[in-house]
Structure 1
């Protein structure tokens, strides 16, 4: 592999499901790698043993697989790399870029409180930081030390952010952060820096809530003599009310949207438009996304979640998916309704409703009219005059061959012979067949429902007492 090959990683912490912001980060990273013939990598940052769970790992893997964001190499798990972290820690202790700190949590808090009283930034005061000519305190007995990174104290740490432009942090504001806890376990920023180095990461795309972590990671990488990736911090996704997207605004997990009946192609299309654009294109394929994706088109401002827009995008993909494929997608959902249904005519029924559905669940609910008879309550909308019209319809269709042309001719004959409007026939007929006045084209419902079912439902409607 050449030294300049683009290698991008998605690095979630497995403390919950794959949320929408994380999915978008993964998508942008994947698209950028694919656009540049690079490598897309997955790293599971599971060193927080109290909060990380196997269930969350499985959920994240299922989420990125559903979206089609398959990594090019075997996923890296931080918990499998502890020996490597210890090796780097020891090297940093040896070369003086890290040191043991014996200050207790209570002593650290006192340092911070004193800084606050003096209107200074509350941070560690460098008590155990070794300096030339400095006398360190006596090591307390029985106290396990943390390991701190010896951060630069002068000058600035800066980088040219892919999204935000130049970002500068004065080094005097940076703390000597703990890179290993008193029990020896390494901490987040240290692990990230080591991993990015070992994985030869060239570009890091992540949420802008990580901006404050970047100078820490850059300084650690510099101390290790590692190459510095290019960083791009993407503004967060906001809810429609301008607040941070959360559960109170609805579903925030990718898999929730899968359960709600959204197609992965639609989610990829919609998520990619939250913070990235190509001209005025709204609907595009995964292949077009890869072809068009350039970092210069990432937005500097926050994106806003628009459920109606997602529904519109999803409805487009449902409309343009074959009824054969849709039948496979919703088959299990129909089975879970515990109803008897004829699988043979399912595709024909889907064809009637797929242009009207925002989600697969909408589609399932719509086609239930063919498998569930109208309720007694809905049939009470049919009055005595309506029933007489239904009797005329029954008599007219009794001996016809069940074909669309014959059905159309029968409907026209009833209207002409009895001097009634189409509405006067269609409304009670729709209710008798489906329980609703809002349905697809009446003749198409009739042909798909089949003659026996139509006759049976009309008989039931006529017999129902108002």
Structure 2
């Protein structure tokens, strides 16, 4: 049997974290078994589905590199197929037309609730044979079995059973002729030969209804696996208030896709005590029987830790391609300064996100107009004049501009003046970066360049002179 899974989001919003994890698990299961992964857009909710949401879902999937083998399929383009099956079911007697008015259904619901009963359709039209005009509005309902139960072996939760008496006759076609979500899902899974349905636990109640429809049309019932929800740090269901609205927000906030994938795969799945997984390792080791049925708590600090790891562990050239977007957002012209790959190596240990890296690198590429007030007040004092003048002259004299030679110039300045490295290094750092923090001073000065470093030191000396005259 060829394994075939699917990810079937409704385009009513962004691709959120829970959806991304479901997509990842479905994708990994297919890849682990050498199977196929299908992308399906379940856009039957015509009022809430938007092209913007579709684009956001596709962008999120592409950013995470969750490639699909088939699709994207759109349910709204398959209405003729769904309605053809419904017509066949009407002929076979596994579905029937229901002419109950909205008023009758509301009265039925109120009566059942008043009696402490579960609200459900009472089958009034199931065996009704009174004549109705062809133009009279009606819905089509599925004739759900009235005896027995539905049992399925959930691959994460074990056996689950529903009594058929708890399931009413589901509407499968509305009065306007449009098929409903639960029915479309069944036909799609059948037509697309889906073998394993991996989805969120909020779909568990849909499963017995869908299984009964599959059996009624003579279709193969897929294997089901329902993944537990993700909770926020506070133990409540993950929502907008916990941070990112959608997966792409994590891109915008400076996370690498590898970090988010690694984090998501561990939100409910484990392989021994291993924490760091490459994509190939995920595909090799992933299995449904290692997925926990307990809810997982989202921990932003853990994600941040993983992101910092990947910034430093992945090839700097690759990280630089991801950094470029953030550089563009900051409107930094990088033509005059170090290559972005070199910048990644310079700032990787200090920065936990690419957004932070982009925000803190401007001085490598552009001259600044002002020094940080606190840093300048503390370190650009008259006593710093001589160390800055001496180190400037030594930097000017360097013939081969290397980090080693820059370091020698700084060290020899301190030795010559008989002062600690901090007495030279801190004024120099503020002079060339405009701020009080940077990576190692030798590599920072080297990356800024010889001419610009000297010019900035002269600017700092002018600032000290102006300060003395105040």
Unaligned segments of structure 1, at least 5 residues? none
Aligned pair partner of 2:140 in 147, 153, 156 = 147
1:260 aligns with: 253
Matched, 1:379 2:376: yes
Distance 1:35 1:181, change over 3 A: same
Shift of 1:142: 6.0
Unaligned segments of structure 2, at least 5 residues? none
Shift of 1:399: 2.4
Shift of 1:139: 3.8
1:395 aligns with: 393
Q: Determine if contact 2:337/2:364 at 8 Å carries over to the other structure.
A: no
- Cα RMSD after superposing both structures: 1.9
Matched, 1:24 2:17: no
Alignment of 1:275-424 (within 5 A): 275-342=268-335, 345-346=338-339, 347-374=341-368, 375-376=370-371, 377=373, 378-381=375-378, 382-401=380-399, 402-424=401-423
1:113 aligns with: 110
| Cα distance in 2 for residues equivalent to 1:141 and 1:413 | 99
In the superposition, the TM-score normalised over structure 1's length comes to 0.93
| Cα distance in 2 for residues equivalent to 1:395 and 1:74 | 65
Matched, 1:49 2:42: no
Shift of 1:137: 5.2
| Cα distance in 2 for residues equivalent to 1:174 and 1:353 | 59
Q: Determine if contact 1:11/1:43 at 8 Å carries over to the other structure.
A: yes
C-alpha distance after superposition, 1:279-303 (max 9, x if no partner): 1111111111111011100111011
Q: Determine if contact 2:173/2:180 at 8 Å carries over to the other structure.
A: yes
Distance 1:181 1:462, change over 3 A: same
The SS at the match of 2:322 is: helix
Matched, 1:245 2:238: yes
Shift of 1:355: 2.7
| Cα distance in 2 for residues equivalent to 1:339 and 1:398 | 27
| Cα distance in 2 for residues equivalent to 1:68 and 1:393 | 49
2:79 aligns with: 82
C-alpha distance after superposition, 1:421-459 (max 9, x if no partner): 111211111111213322211111121111211111111
Distance 1:137 1:112, change over 3 A: farther
C-alpha distance after superposition, 1:139-194 (max 9, x if no partner): 48964000111112222112111111111112111111111101111001111111
Alignment of 1:205-220 (within 5 A): 205-220=198-213
The SS at the match of 1:8 is: strand
Q: Determine if contact 1:101/1:148 at 8 Å carries over to the other structure.
A: yes
Matched, 1:98 2:95: yes
Distance 1:179 1:405, change over 3 A: closer
Shift of 1:333: 3.4
1:164 aligns with: 157
The SS at the match of 1:61 is: helix
1:39 aligns with: 36
| Cα distance in 1 for residues equivalent to 2:289 and 2:320 | 40
Matched, 1:187 2:160: no
Distance 1:138 1:112, change over 3 A: farther
| Cα distance in 2 for residues equivalent to 1:334 and 1:206 | 37
2:126 aligns with: 129
